[in-house]
Structures are given as structure tokens and as C-alpha cells.
Amino acid sequence: TGSATHILKPLMSPPTRDEILCTLLDL
């Protein structure tokens, strides 16, 4: 019917805490 609820999310994940810490260290 088109009325059912879909729960969507982005396929890509946000940067992780560790990734962000690494970029901060690079700076």
C-alpha cells in the first residue's frame, strides 16, 4: 500500500573516534 514504515540509514558510516584522533595527531 506504500504506507508501511521503512527505517533508512546512510550506507556510509561517520568517521570513528579513533580516525578523528589520528587526524588530530597528524595536525
Partner 1 sequence: RQDLNFGQVVADILCEFLEVAIHLILYVREVYPSGIFQKRKKYNVPVQMSCHPELNQYIQDTLHCMKPLIEKNDAEKVVVVIMDKEHRPVERFVFEISQPTLLSIRCVHVDVCFCFCCCSSDSLLSHVEQLLRAFILKISVCDAVLNNNPPGCSFSVLVHTREAATRSMEKVQVIKDFPWIVADEQEVHMKEPRLIPLKTMTSDIVKVRKLLAAER
* Furthest-apart CA atoms within the chain: distance in Å: 53
Of 16, 22, 25, 26, the one binding partner 1 (CB under 8 A) is 16
Closest contact distance (angstroms) between CB of 20 and partner 1 is 6
Cell (9 digits) for 2: 506504500
Residue 8 found at the interface with partner 1 (CB under 8 A): yes
Residue 22 found at the interface with partner 1 (CB under 8 A): no
C-alpha gyration radius of the chain: 17
Distance CA 26, CA 13 (A): 22
List contacts with partner 1 (CB under 8 A): 1-21, 23-24
